[in-house]
Amino acid sequence: MTPQELLAIVAVIAVVRVVLSLRPVVAGSNGRSTAVAREFLDPFIIAGLAAWVLITFVARTYYIPSGSMLPTLQIHDVLLVDKFEYRFHEPHRGDIVVFPPPVPTPDDFIKRVVGLPGDRLRVQDGTVYLNDAPLKETYVAEKPDYALQIRDYGIYVREGDGWQRLDPATANIPPRSMWAAPDRIPPHCFVMFGDNRNDSEDSHVWGFAQDAGRFASGARTGEAAGFTGRAFLIFWPPSQARAL
């Protein structure tokens, strides 16, 4: 349930509460309708508003619909997502993050932060290199079968023969003026990969995620960007429950 849906339900209950309270008291009823409204509806309104504050500003649940984060996250896992933490700092490398991607979709994506603003990053022979050092990734399902380079103010991907530059018409690749260097991740931009590298629609497909502002290019150019929050706990099913 989204915060908007919850708030709509609370609003309906509140309207019912007001209507019952304003009804004329029938002779002999001693105002029982008002008492019933207060006794049964007020707790729902208070609880609903409290839940709305929590899922809007503090934490909410997130359901895993696909296998893009296997083996770390299983399909149908339910997570708790901290929506408060990134109000104070940007994501850290290795965080598992829920965020709106730069491609048209009604749902947020969940991926792992691999590259931070200012990093040099490439994928070569199945290994991610950050600032020329190989990244130890014990969490991936298998090594990626593609190569990737950030260079010449773009993201270049090789799957099979030949390199292809991600097209700013479909991927979030900021214009040259937003880059600090031609081979480093631009400010406010992040490289996000799924742990199931060869079955994940992520930065090697749609470019950079952003922690602020509006998407610089791609299908959602001009729409608000940011991070919904950090996934910190699997709480369902109980057999999978653990901190992330």
Enumerate the active-site residues: 68, 111
Q: What is the 3-state secondary structure (H, E, C) of the chain?
A: CCHHHHHHHHHHHHHHHHHHHHCCCCCCCCCHHHHHHHHHHHHHHHHHHHHHHHHHHHEEEEECCCCCCCCCCCCCCEEEEECCHHHCCCCCCCCEEEECCCCCCCCCEEEEEEECCCCCEEEECCEEEECCEECCCCCCCCCCCCEEEEECCEEEEECCCCEEECCCCCCECCCHHHCCCCCCCCCCEEEEECCCHHHCCCHHHHECEECCCECCCCCCCCCECCCCEEEEEEEECHHHCEEC
How far apart are the C-alpha atoms of 120 and 152, rounded to whole Å?
A: 12
DSSP secondary structure code for residue 57 in this structure: I
| Amino acid (one-letter) located at 241 | A
